[in-house]
Chain A
Amino acid sequence: MTGPHSDEPGGEVAEHLGRLLEDDPADLYENAPMGYLSTLPDGRIVKVNRTFCAWTGRLPADLLDTRFQDLLTAGGRVFHETHMVPLLRMQGAVREIAIDLQRIDGSVLPCLLNAVELRDDTGRPVLVRATLFEATARRRYERELLAAQRLAEESEARSRTVQKVVFDLAAATSEEDVAVVIVQRSREVMKARGAALVLVDGEADDPQALPVLRPVRSEGLSRELLRRLRGAAGSRLALELAQGVRSILLDARLRGDQPELAAAMGEAGIDELVVVPVSADSKRLGVLVMALGDGSPEGLISLHEPGARRVMPPSEVDLLYTLGRQAGQALERVRLHEEMVRAGERSTFLLEAARLMAGAADVEETVERLAELAVSRLADVCIIDLVTEHGMHRPAARHRDPGRQHLVDRLRAYRLPVQAGGHPGLLALREGRTQWVREFDEQRLTAMTLEGIHRETVRKLCLRSVVSVPMAIEGRRLGVLSFGADKHRQPFSAADVEMAEQLALQLSQVVDKAQRFEFEERTSHTLQDSLLPPAPPQLPGLRTAVRYVAATQGVDVGGDFYDVVRLEHGLVGLSVGDVVGHDITAAAIMGQLRSVYRSQMVDQLTPGVLIDRLQGGWELFGLQRMATALFGLLDPASGELRLASAGHLPPVLCVGGTAQFLPVRPTRMLGAPPAEGPTAEWVGVLPVGATLLLFTDGLVESREADIDAGLDRLLEVVGRSCSSDPDELCDRLLGELAGEHRADDIALLALTRV
């Protein structure tokens, strides 16, 4: 059997325990499971235990007379001076101060410190006693807690930022609004020295074309820096980088590859540019550029060593990426909105333009007013060139700003500069195709202008975008319609171009119609001039007066005619007539008819026979329209007068102030199927002093009253005005009977026997 087993400590063990519990104060002090030290009020260590020495890796001899604060890390020293020393002095003790000791090998020992200040009778400090507990695990745990808390706070702050940005972007209605929000917010988030939103015009993804980078808003970045960034790597650098959130560091590589950009960054004290893609649905719209550098925006010194690279944490990268996407989506929405507004403006404009063109009196006025309308709505400059038979003509050139009108006035004098081969207007006219310069550059400007004043004037207009649309109808070139947008306006879009083309089409029709009308009018005048006898011949015993007044609508010529012909034996042939219609054809047929009846008159036919012959030969003569006519044969010597009418109104005879219609019985109109039997003639005498008036229905017909009322009125005026001067009578008649708006031509023939 072995010795008895018992839970009670055996005699030997109990003895050892008893020894330990005997409280050897020295051992307890030296080997206590905590650091223990005493210092003078200024921190000099006067007593220290072995545990503390072991922890710090130093010998007691080295520690004595060393200041406690010199054993701390730099941060700990500051905390010691600013917190611990005042607290000890003020409240005599401190508890649970977290403090880091620096071991002799440089490593850090996190501790918790409690201390009391021992004072003399007068309250003056004499000694400080401090105990230190190692707190490595505890501190690590606390740090992790703190880090988790910070992370949660940061994540919350990021969500708040994104929320704010989304909220602000929702209120944005223009590119500029979006830019303001995104530049300001991202700058805040990154505490960036500066930020800018740079957008791409045209297709960013087109590998053929160089993208045009346009800064929309910039804060705290120099113009020079932006210019260099845009120019870097053939203007593709920013876009290449914008595949993701990237950094451009001011380092040796950048200095070698992009010396100008590097210089601009150095100049501005910026050592890192962060480029964030701004995109919507994988469409790259531009980039957000941020400048990071030494020094925070508040003017505080940066904690980062100058030149040392700060690595952007993934959470920041994510946030920036999100901001870029939000900005991209807002831009798309705003652009859509702007496009809709512009579409609305375009339709309003086209409507107004159509109304204007419908109401315009002539081409010059139309283009003038159209140009005015265009600069009030769609463009800054509108210039209209027309092709005329005398060459190019520039009837309209307008600027939106009256203050710059003098510039386009100057351009007006140049018309289309034929020597400037690249002029879009000229190209449009030559090639018969729309010319659209979305964004100008210097080269383009040079190609389209003449050196000297012309180029300088165009340059002063600060144009950025031009559209020239040719006007043509059935292959006939009519002119060019040109619009210009200056720098404050968006460049013309495809929809703008389409609108310009529609407008050009409308205007082409107006110009074409007007030009045709003008041509017809001119032709008919010529015709009329050649068809109407210049002036009635001087006839013995007769005074004659003739008038021809065109209708106020349509061409200036019609089928009305009058004629006074001297025949053999002193006889005089008279006629007044009206070919149906009011156009060139009517005038032409009138001319034919006159030739025909004049050839017949040679035979001194009486009016009735004349009418019968004309009726009979109407088809043979090739007269294609019907006509009314009144023919007369007068013997001025005896006053014998014969009259016959083919569907024409009767003439008026005025004797001694009394006017009456002569009862000439009309037969059918010329060209109508002839009536049975010969045409009746009225035969009578024109007394000396009497006046005979032959007229066409334009004189008595009006829209307001029926023809009987007109005839009554005619008799009344003739009776009142009749004298020995037929000219005066004609003037009076026209003055009183021919209104301002005449639907038909008027021909008058008045003759007084003297």
Chain B
Amino acid sequence: MASVSVRNRVNQSGVLSGRPMLFAHGFGCDQTMWRLVAPEFEADHRVVLFDHVGSGQSDLSAYDFQKYASLSGYASDIVEICEELGLRDVVLVGHSVSAMIGVLAYHRAPELFGALVMVGPNPRYVDDGDYVGGFSRTDIAGLLDALDANHLGWSTQMAPVIMGNPDHPELAEELTNSFCRTRPDIAQQFARVTFLSDNRADLDGIDIPTLVLQCSMDAIAPDSVGEFVHRRIPGSVLVQMAATGHVPQLSAPEETKAAIRAFLAR
């Protein structure tokens, strides 16, 4: 089997002996999402970035429709990355769906993780009785539709260029929208798994320091969901950010870095 590092396109930087910080990107793009935030921690942490299988420059041949039919497939990959790199006391920073994947990874191997940072978590996107996840079923169907509409720009002729030149990232840079380009069938399944999972029960039993970063006016993770997550994880810290939208690590990197710093300094 090819190494996990190759499969997940693992990139490391910072202080090798420092406390590991593992950054997990969410649905949509890839590890470059972290480029305004991760360098901040290189001075005193071992910073580890990776792409989920099926995203970015991960090994697409490793994508198994059965394994990734649920979030636990992604969670087991995170555990494997930590094991292959020998990481312990990991600060797992997960954005969006990866906040929940991080929770699943923690349940799988709690001994590996020292802290969880959940950026814009949402354990269930679809409304359910009193629980407001922010989406109706129709909304999700519309999202899948929107994905379809945008995948028409995906051309298989382009794929080899993107994947075949990992040593020349500038080539890939030239391709518009390449960071968020995903094979249509994989994007469809990832979207389904992301937006149709219900991981509320997994929030129970988290026994390590946990930070919940909640953006303002986040259409994907409403404030009420952030509060829900915070309530379900006793001892967690909820930071309501001034940043709007769902991607504070890009839209408000300073605020994001500061919040994580403050949390880690506790």
Contact with A along B28-68 (1 / 0, CB 8 A): 11001101100000000000000000000000000000000
Interface stretch, picked from A67-75, A159-167, A380-388, A518-526, is A67-75
Whether B180 lies near A67 (C-beta < 8 A) is no
Q: In the complex, which residue of chain A has the Cβ closest to the Cβ of B221?
A: A81
28 A–B contacts from the bound complex (CB under 8 Å): A67-B217, A73-B146, A74-B136, A74-B138, A75-B144, A75-B147, A77-B219, A78-B139, A78-B195, A79-B150, A81-B218, A81-B246, A85-B247, A85-B250, A86-B247, A91-B176, A94-B177, A98-B149, A98-B152, A100-B146, A142-B152, A296-B196, A298-B69, A299-B70, A299-B198, A300-B192, A300-B193, A301-B126
Q: List B contacts of A298 (CB < 8 A).
A: 69-70
Whether A300 lies near B70 (C-beta < 8 A) is yes
Q: List A contacts of B173 (CB < 8 A).
A: 91
Whether A83 lies near B137 (C-beta < 8 A) is no
> Is A566 an interface position by the 8 A CB rule?
no
Whether A74 lies near B139 (C-beta < 8 A) is yes
| A86 to B178 CA separation, bound complex (whole angstroms) | 11
Contact with B along A426-450 (1 / 0, CB 8 A): 0000000000000000000000000
| A41 to B138 CA separation, bound complex (whole angstroms) | 29
Knowing A78-B219, A142-B152, A300-B193, the reply to whether A87 touches B244 (Cβ < 8 A) is no
Q: In the complex, which residue of chain B has the Cβ closest to the Cβ of A84?
A: B180
| A154 to B25 CA separation, bound complex (whole angstroms) | 32
Q: List B contacts of A143 (CB < 8 A).
A: 148-149
Q: Report the minimum CB–CB distance from A366 to chain B (whole Å).
A: 61
Pick the 7 closest A-B CB pairs, nearest first. Answer: A75-B142, A82-B28, A74-B139, A75-B143, A98-B149, A75-B146, A81-B246
| A91 to B173 CA separation, bound complex (whole angstroms) | 8
| A654 to B137 CA separation, bound complex (whole angstroms) | 123
> Is A139 an interface position by the 8 A CB rule?
yes
Q: List A contacts of B136 (CB < 8 A).
A: 74
Residues of chain A from 85 to 106 with CB closer than 8 A to chain B in the complex = 85-87, 89-91, 93-100
> Is B245 an interface position by the 8 A CB rule?
yes
Whether B29 lies near A83 (C-beta < 8 A) is yes
Whether B143 lies near A81 (C-beta < 8 A) is no
What residues of chain B have their CB less than 8 Å away from a CB belonging to chain A?
26-29, 32-33, 35-36, 69-70, 96, 124, 126, 135-150, 152-153, 173, 176-177, 179-180, 192-193, 195-198, 217-220, 244-247, 250-251
Q: List A contacts of B144 (CB < 8 A).
A: 75
Q: In the complex, which residue of chain A has the Cβ closest to the Cβ of B66?
A: A298
Knowing A83-B28, A87-B180, A300-B196, the reply to whether A75 touches B247 (Cβ < 8 A) is no
Whether B29 lies near A82 (C-beta < 8 A) is yes
> Is A704 an interface position by the 8 A CB rule?
no
Whether B135 lies near A74 (C-beta < 8 A) is yes
| A98 to B198 CA separation, bound complex (whole angstroms) | 29
Q: List B contacts of A145 (CB < 8 A).
A: 152
Whether B70 lies near A83 (C-beta < 8 A) is no
Given known contacts A76-B146, A86-B179, A300-B193, what 16 new A-B pairs fall within 8 Å (CB)? A41-B251, A67-B217, A74-B143, A75-B146, A77-B219, A78-B219, A78-B220, A79-B146, A90-B32, A96-B176, A97-B177, A146-B152, A299-B197, A299-B198, A301-B124, A303-B196
Q: List B contacts of A95 (CB < 8 A).
A: 176-177
> Is A43 an interface position by the 8 A CB rule?
yes
Whether A83 lies near B180 (C-beta < 8 A) is yes
Knowing A81-B220, A86-B28, the reply to whether A98 touches B247 (Cβ < 8 A) is no
Q: List A contacts of B196 (CB < 8 A).
A: 296, 300-303
| A95 to B177 CA separation, bound complex (whole angstroms) | 8
Q: In the complex, which residue of chain A has the Cβ closest to the Cβ of B27?
A: A82
Whether A78 lies near B143 (C-beta < 8 A) is yes
Knowing A81-B220, A86-B33, A300-B70, the reply to whether A75 touches B139 (Cβ < 8 A) is yes
Whether B35 lies near A90 (C-beta < 8 A) is yes
Q: List B contacts of A97 (CB < 8 A).
A: 150, 177
Q: Report the minimum CB–CB distance from B153 to chain A (whole Å).
A: 6
> Is A42 an interface position by the 8 A CB rule?
yes
Q: In the complex, which residue of chain B has the Cβ closest to the Cβ of A40?
A: B244
Q: Report the minimum CB–CB distance from B39 to chain A (whole Å).
A: 14
Q: Report the minimum CB–CB distance from B70 to chain A (whole Å).
A: 6
Knowing A43-B244, A74-B135, A304-B137, the reply to whether A82 touches B198 (Cβ < 8 A) is no
Q: List A contacts of B139 (CB < 8 A).
A: 74-75, 78
Q: Report the minimum CB–CB distance from A594 to chain B (whole Å).
A: 99
Knowing A67-B217, A73-B142, the reply to whether A93 touches B28 (Cβ < 8 A) is no
Whether A78 lies near B146 (C-beta < 8 A) is yes
> Is A23 an interface position by the 8 A CB rule?
no
| A86 to B70 CA separation, bound complex (whole angstroms) | 25
Most chain B beta carbons < 10 A, residue from A85, A94, A300, A302: A300
| A444 to B26 CA separation, bound complex (whole angstroms) | 66
| A94 to B175 CA separation, bound complex (whole angstroms) | 11
> Is A305 an interface position by the 8 A CB rule?
yes
Q: List B contacts of A300 (CB < 8 A).
A: 69-70, 192-193, 196-197
Q: Report the minimum CB–CB distance from A569 to chain B (whole Å).
A: 119
| A725 to B177 CA separation, bound complex (whole angstroms) | 130
Q: Which of B126, B142, B146, B197 contacts A98 (CB 8 A)?
A: B146
Q: List B contacts of A301 (CB < 8 A).
A: 124, 126, 137, 196-198
Knowing A73-B142, A91-B179, A301-B198, the reply to whether A83 touches B150 (Cβ < 8 A) is yes
Q: List B contacts of A81 (CB < 8 A).
A: 28, 218-220, 245-247
Q: Report the minimum CB–CB distance from B158 to chain A (whole Å).
A: 13
Whether A75 lies near B145 (C-beta < 8 A) is yes
Whether A79 lies near B143 (C-beta < 8 A) is yes
Q: List B contacts of A86 (CB < 8 A).
A: 28-29, 33, 179-180, 247, 250
| A301 to B135 CA separation, bound complex (whole angstroms) | 12
Contact with B along A101-128 (1 / 0, CB 8 A): 0000000001000000000000000000
Q: In the complex, which residue of chain A has the Cβ closest to the Cβ of B29?
A: A86
| A76 to B150 CA separation, bound complex (whole angstroms) | 11
Q: Report the minimum CB–CB distance from B90 to chain A (whole Å).
A: 24
Q: Which of A41, A75, A87 contacts B179 (CB 8 A)?
A: A87
Q: Which of B33, B146, B245 contacts A42 (CB 8 A)?
A: B245
| A85 to B193 CA separation, bound complex (whole angstroms) | 22
Most chain B beta carbons < 10 A, residue from A73, A99, A305: A73
Contact with B along A34-62 (1 / 0, CB 8 A): 00000001110000000000000000000
Most chain B beta carbons < 10 A, residue from A110, A301, A302, A305: A301
Q: List B contacts of A304 (CB < 8 A).
A: 137
Whether B179 lies near A90 (C-beta < 8 A) is yes
Whether B220 lies near A89 (C-beta < 8 A) is no
Q: Report the minimum CB–CB distance from A189 to chain B (whole Å).
A: 15
| A608 to B246 CA separation, bound complex (whole angstroms) | 140
Q: In the complex, which residue of chain B has the Cβ closest to the Cβ of A308?
A: B137
Most chain B beta carbons < 10 A, residue from A42, A90, A99: A90
Q: In the complex, which residue of chain B has the Cβ closest to the Cβ of A89?
A: B250
Q: List A contacts of B220 (CB < 8 A).
A: 77-78, 81-82
